[in-house]
Structure 1
Amino acid sequence: MPLSDLTRRHQSALASYCRTGQYNAIPGVHAGHVTHYRRLVYNVVDDMLQSAYPLTHHLLKAKEWKALVQEFFSNHPCQSPQVWYMPGELYQYMLQVQHPLLQQYDCLQELLWLEWTEVELFMMEDRPVEYTPDGDLLTDALVLNPEHRLQRFRYPVHLKPARQITANDQGDYFLVLYRKPDTGEVSFLNLSPVLAHMLELLAEGPQPVSELIRQSCAAWQLPLTPDIEAAGSAFFSQALESGLIPGFKIKKDT
């Protein structure tokens, strides 16, 4: 049964109070008890954000974190009906308003992206892909796990505690996050620029390691040496073991 306009207004008033802390009398609500509603709702939001962003929570001062949560909870009308997505809207909100904390902590935007992407990958819908576990690493075409994110960073937020990162750490860092097919666990691998380029090529379609190495050496104007071939083979062997590469392209009968 649809809610009456009056009931809807009362519910909206209670929701507004829970978000902002500004209370206007609501019929049927005991003024002495209403603070408990806000405390409970706020604590749920705060707990969810801390769970999604533990590294960010550790980086910020306690007062900064509390003020950020209160500001977000009061000012941002969350759009998604899925509760788990709410922390993602905090990340989007901070970018939209160009939050001062992003200027105060140079690595914060990348740290937020890293933490939210881990949640998003864990919760994302399955993206099935066809492959066979049998094949030759060098000559058979590899299949890349579609449940991944490849990212370039200015700061090593995946390698160092955020509080230890300084301006001297600026550089080019490459990272791939992915969800393991067998367990659903989200993991990551640190990458060199050349390995990141190989994964970009592989994302375009299955290819053998030998071809990925050849194309990347040409793009980076590197000599195709035995050492480079060995390093590339070692990386993709590890990627096969870890689930970043689930297997090989299935050969169609002709």
Structure 2
Amino acid sequence: MATQLQATQSQFAAYIRDPENNPKPADVDHRRMAMYRELFFNNIDSFIASNFPVLRTILSDAQWLELTQDFFARHRCETPYFSEIAEEFLAYLQNERNNPDDYPFLLELAHYEWVEMALSIAKDTPVLGSGDFLENLLLRRIALSPLAWPLLYRYPVQAIGPGFLPREAPEQPSCLIVHRDEYDQVHFLKTTGLTIRLLQIFQDQGGMSGESCLRAVAAEFPQLDVEALMSNGLPILRELAEKGILIPAVDA
């Protein structure tokens, strides 16, 4: 009995996912199955559209429907939580999506849009630096806030929209910092590759002084003048700390 029920459930789910290639359960009315599928699919479609509004805007109705139906039929989600479906959609784009007609920036744009949602619901509560911390950044141990993400994209995802759909990546990547402030507002900052590398070092080390980090950057870029980097780097550190992107490192 249990085996028969499981088989019926599997057939039910397979039909709902992909009715073109799977038969419906024989004892369920066709109209009811169509209603069930529409209910399930519309929920997923609506959720993805709300989390990827730019992606939805740049695709025609037919393109969007093909994309979401392919995700619905092909991808096997590993989570029952609606808040994590957007991440599942990213996994699908990265590992399963294979359509040569897609925009070349599709995955990067989707990731850029997902970041905002991911940061908005992150449960981290970093402790921001005090005035003393801001005044002694070269000496104090600094860490990258868990609510600040340095990002590199091949395409200028922050500018993509219906009026700008690049087919080729520019020579220079787009360097962005996405962070959530103390008021739980998510911000996107355009920055330089040098600043991204600075943040990556703090992220990798888990905590180091501002001076040590700047010297580490100088060692990676020998074409830069060390003293100039130390002098110009301090205002950058202070700005990042004031925004809560850099915070005091927590001793283990």
Give the percent of matched residue pairs that are identical in Structure 1 and Structure 2.
23
Q: CA RMSD in A?
A: 3.0
2:65 is aligned to 66
1:53-103 deviation digits (Å, cap 9, x = unpaired): 1121122222111101111111222222333222222222232235225x6
- Helix, strand or coil: the match of 1:169? coil
1:55 counterpart letter in structure 2 = V
2:5 counterpart letter in structure 1 = T
1:102-153 deviation digits (Å, cap 9, x = unpaired): x641222211222223333334453x66775342233322232134433322
1:12 counterpart letter in structure 2 = S
Q: For 2:156 and 2:216, how far apart are their aligned partners in 1?
A: 27
Matches within 5 A, 1:49-198: 49-101=48-100, 104-126=102-124, 133=130, 134-135=132-133, 136-161=136-161, 163-166=163-166, 167=168, 169-180=170-181, 182-198=182-198
Question: Taking structure 1 as reference, are residues 50 and 220 closer, same or farther at Cα in structure 2, changes over 3 Å only?
Answer: same
Q: For 1:104 and 1:40, how far apart are their aligned partners in 2?
A: 27
Q: For 2:96 and 2:32, how far apart are their aligned partners in 1?
A: 34
**Number of aligned residues:** 244
Q: For 1:168 and 1:124, how far apart are their aligned partners in 2?
A: 31
Question: Taking structure 1 as reference, are residues 232 and 165 closer, same or farther at Cα in structure 2, changes over 3 Å only?
Answer: farther
Q: For 2:5 and 2:251, how far apart are their aligned partners in 1?
A: 62
Q: Tell me, yes or no, if the aligned pair for 1:213 and 1:232 is still in contact at 8 Å.
A: yes
Question: Taking structure 1 as reference, are residues 160 and 139 closer, same or farther at Cα in structure 2, changes over 3 Å only?
Answer: farther
Q: For 2:169 and 2:30, how far apart are their aligned partners in 1?
A: 54
- Helix, strand or coil: the match of 1:143? strand
Question: Taking structure 1 as reference, are residues 5 and 125 closer, same or farther at Cα in structure 2, changes over 3 Å only?
Answer: farther
Q: Tell me, yes or no, if the aligned pair for 1:175 and 1:190 is still in contact at 8 Å.
A: yes
Specify every segment of 5 or more residues in structure 2 that has no aligned partner in the other structure, as ranges: none
- Helix, strand or coil: the match of 2:208? coil
- Helix, strand or coil: the match of 2:189? strand
Q: For 1:168 and 1:20, how far apart are their aligned partners in 2?
A: 35
Q: For 2:118 and 2:173, how far apart are their aligned partners in 1?
A: 24
1:215 is aligned to 216
1:172 counterpart letter in structure 2 = P
1:4 is aligned to 2
1:224 is aligned to 226
Deviates more, 1:157-166 or 1:68-77: 157-166
1:8-65 deviation digits (Å, cap 9, x = unpaired): 33333332222223552443x4433332221111110101111221121122222111
- Helix, strand or coil: the match of 1:146? coil
Q: For 1:148 and 1:235, how far apart are their aligned partners in 2?
A: 15
Question: Taking structure 1 as reference, are residues 105 and 183 closer, same or farther at Cα in structure 2, changes over 3 Å only?
Answer: same
2:196 counterpart letter in structure 1 = A
Q: For 1:26 and 1:168, how far apart are their aligned partners in 2?
A: 51
Question: Taking structure 1 as reference, are residues 111 and 142 closer, same or farther at Cα in structure 2, changes over 3 Å only?
Answer: same
Question: Taking structure 1 as reference, are residues 251 and 82 closer, same or farther at Cα in structure 2, changes over 3 Å only?
Answer: closer
Q: TM-score, normalised by structure 2?
A: 0.80
Question: Taking structure 1 as reference, are residues 47 and 24 closer, same or farther at Cα in structure 2, changes over 3 Å only?
Answer: same
